[in-house]
Structure 1
Amino acid sequence: MQALINNVTRSFSTIFGYAPTHFIQAPGRVNLIGEHTDYNDGFVLPCAINYQMVVAAAKRDDNTIRVIAVDYQNDVDEFSLDNTIEFLPNKMWANYVRGVIHFLQKDNYSFHGMDIAISGNVPQGAGLSSSAALEVAIGQTLKTLYQLPISQKEIALNGQKAENQFVGCNCGIMDQLISACGEENHALLIDCRSLETSAVTMPENMIVMIINTNKKRGLVDSEYNTRRQQCEEAARILNVTALRDATLEDLVAKKALMSEVVYRRARHVITENGRTLDAAEALRHGDLTTLSQLMMQSHHSMRDDFEITVKEVDSLVEIVKSVIGDRGGVRMTGGGFGGCVVALVTPDLVDKVVDSVKAQYEAKTGLKETIYVCSASQGAGYSEAK
């Protein structure tokens, strides 16, 4: 993180001509288990990772907001809190910042202007929530500079609102919530209906490996919408508010009333909710054998019932599984049709996994993977400039 702090300090001081007073960080995340359960009011188990968005900041006496995007050649956005905050079609990065500030204003939080410089190392396009990290970082910055009476959960909800309604991109609440509320060496069990969270201790020294297949994700939006409709149809047939409220027995009893595809989609969500709760327990007790089985069942369910994996993802999971056996877990993570695989492993297995993946993945798929070795990290926070 020090490199990011140096980056933002340099740009801030050069362009604004004085030094920042505060540094704020908000992390990216990976979901360990609980896939496509969020919009079914279910459970997810993400952890924050040690890749983050960092902001250098200082208050202003007036109502001007000045923003430097260090990673976009120090591109600058400037606007006033006295005017309606507009969407900028030609400067997409700025809309995440503008959206967060717009909704904080709408919710009647009182603050003046600020100068900020932003830089991050959350890989973009890998499904590790660089956008949520940015939204949470901006909310955290205003909370820090102006002592806003806003909770971490409200910062997350505000970020989600900005992404859904200002940027115009549909997302659940998981990404912002884990970025705002994550704890070091813990995963966070999130109830997507009540938004209640509970920190789950990770076994000591547990390494979170994220391996990007670098398979370009096609069809994501259309397939996502189809899956969502199928889940809603199943809930309607089962006469429940959401699939979270159904049991496997309920589903089997009404199998004849739904198509085979809808049945399988619902079976994934219902069993995945159970697996997520069981995985939280297994993590708490350091039971890697059970965790290993649950993550593999989750992957098979996504492959066979929800049908969102692709051969590159399945191949990568098999390569990792052959190395770690039941001494850790591995599965696809994220929306599907490409993207990343997550593995929870002990430190002694990391090099073996890396070597095995490097030796086999490209030979099997023609694609070169990208490997991130992470640890479960602290959620959003700040420090004062020395």
Structure 2
Amino acid sequence: MSFREVYGTAPEGTWEAPGRVNLIGEHTDYNEGFVLPLALAHTCRVEAARRDDGVLRLHSADVEEGVVQLRAEELAPGAPEGNWAAYPAGVVWAMREAGLPVGGADLHFTSTVPVGAGLSSSAALEVATASALDGLHGLGLSPERIARLSQRAENAFVGVPSGIMDQMASACCTEGHALHLDTRDLTQRQVPFDLAAQGLRLLVVDTRVKHALGDGAYAERRAGCEEGARTLGVPALRDIAYAELPGALERVADPVVRRYVRHVVTEDQRVERVIALLDAGETRAVGPLLTEGHASLRDDFQVSSPELDLAVATADEAGALGARMTGGGFGGSAIVLLAQERLKAVEEALNSAFAAAGYPQPHLFETTPGAGARRV
């Protein structure tokens, strides 16, 4: 359905924001560390128009339900609980809480970002909403402000204690680049990432295992990281240098927290190593670091799944340069860096391995770095 079919009038404008894959730097953002995401071509698109009666009407072409109607002035964290509409409603709430002159609106969403696949469908929804409201009301918000407001919506309104990476990637990525982001101060650099020029491909493997970051496991790991930082007397785990890691681990008594600390410190270092390789034009050498990062996520942070482990192992055995899970984990997607000539063999190996294991066939697609949020 279109905006006109739902609301009976034409929209004032259309905006869209992409999902993302994270090349390296997982579960480091809420530890004030480093990440390296890139935007997908898959986007959440919103057609929007202002209302002057304070009513917020939300409709998704991808959800089998009618229009969700709320009052902007009555929005409060936790409502509408457990519903996709909580994300755009949360953005309206966050913007109003920040003192921005945002009121009622009619919003119609369509999305090509797979839901529950670890590709930031929620961040795309939030950033698209914030971008539309910014455009409708002529607020002139920076991409960074849009990302922060979107994160505020997810943290405080929806109740998922996510870091800032997903929203920053959706708002700030540029075509043909990966986003090197310091999540402490949001310092960013666009790193050229032209795979085709080097005969390479980046394959996304959506395992079709849905993840839900609001189920407590994500919050438990964040709390464990915060406990580790307190134990070590630092503001965040990003403040533990890689060279200091052996001594730091000796000071952490809890074995689970010790594993979390080891993952975050080594993962921050992997981001720096990948950046150095990309700057040197040695993109092929990034592959083993992806696989190394997956092992850390699997063994130390324990956020992988049997399907993700199978995808990574199968891709590596079939001749990929490297592979790892991407996103929060507990299901979702993996990424595979490979030479163009190995693409067909790796895809066939993945399909065969999943079939042999009795898993649903994975959704495989190539991706290249896309653009961030924009009016269309």
TM-score, structure 1 length as denominator? 0.87
Matching residue of 1:349: 342
Query: Of residues 201, 215, 223 in structure 1, which corresponds to 2:192?
Result: 201
CA contact (8 A) 1:211 1:371 kept: yes
The reply to whether residue 283 of structure 1 matches residue 282 of structure 2 is no
Deviation at 1:211, TM superposition (A): 0.8
- Within the candidate set 255, 263, 266, 1:268 is matched to 263
Q: What CA deviation, in whole Å up to 9, does each residue of 1:267-302 have, x standing for no partner?
A: 221111011122123234431232012112112222
Select 2:236's aligned residue among 224, 235, 242: 242
1:297 to 277, 292, 296: 292
**Partners of 1:310 and 1:337 within 8 A in 2:** yes
In 1, Cα distance between the equivalents of 2:110 and 2:362? Answer: 24
2:92 and 2:102 in contact (8 A); partners too: no
Q: Show the counterpart of 2:106.
A: 115
Q: Indicate which of 317, 320, 328 corresponds to 2:315.
A: 320
Measure, in 2, the Cα distance between the counterparts of 1:350 and 1:141. 38
Return closer, same or farther for 1:372/1:98 CA change in 2, 3 Å cut-off.
same
**Contact residue 27 and residue 52 of structure 1 kept, 8 A:** yes
- Structure 1 counterpart SS, 2:318: helix
The answer as to whether partners of 1:203 and 1:284 remain within 8 angstroms in 2 is no
Most deviating of 258-267 and 100-109: 258-267
Q: Which range moves more in the overlay, 27-36 or 14-23? A: 14-23
Q: Give the deviation of 1:53 after TM superposition.
A: 0.6
Q: 2:174 maps to what in 1?
A: 183
After TM superposition, the structure 1 = structure 2 runs for residues 1-386 of structure 1, keeping only pairs within 5 Å, are 10-60=1-51, 62-73=53-64, 75-81=66-72, 83-86=73-76, 88-89=79-80, 92-111=83-102, 113-205=104-196, 207-215=201-209, 217=211, 221-259=215-253, 260-326=255-321, 329-364=322-357, 366-383=359-376
- Structure 1: which amino acid aligns with 2:246? V
Equivalent residues of 2:118, 2:329 under 8 A apart: no
Kindly state the Cα deviation for residue 336 of structure 1 after the two structures are TM-superposed: 2.8
User: What letter matches 1:164 in structure 2?
Assistant: N
CA pair 95-302 structure 1, distance change in 2 beyond 3 A? closer
Provide closer, same or farther for how the CA distance between residues 346 and 16 of structure 1 changes in structure 2, counting only shifts above 3 A.
Answer: same
SS at match of 2:74: coil
Structure 2 unmatched ranges of 5 or more: none
Letter in 2 for 1:350: L
CA RMSD of aligned residues (A): 2.5
- Tell me the percent identity: 38
Going from structure 1 to structure 2, the CA distance change for 1:96 and 1:263 (only over 3 Å counts) comes to closer
How far, CA to CA, are the matches of 2:249 and 2:129 in structure 1?
47
Gaps in structure 1 of 5+ consecutive residues: 1-9
Letter in 2 for 1:358: N
Q: Which amino acid aligns with 1:333?
A: T
| d(CA) in 2 for partners of 1:97, 1:225 | 22
Normalising by structure 2, what TM-score?
A: 0.89
Give the letter for the 1:294 counterpart: L
Quickly say closer, same or farther: Cα 1:98–1:276, change in 2 above 3 A: same
For residues 69 and 138 of structure 2, the distance between their equivalents in structure 1, rounded to whole angstroms, comes to 23
1:63 Cα shift?
Answer: 4.0
Tell me, in whole angstroms, the C-alpha distance in 2 between the residues paired with 1:170 and 1:130: 16
Structure-2 separation of matches of 1:376 and 1:360: 28
Q: From the superposition, tell whether residues 252 and 141 of structure 1 become closer, same or farther in structure 2 (CA, over 3 Å).
A: same
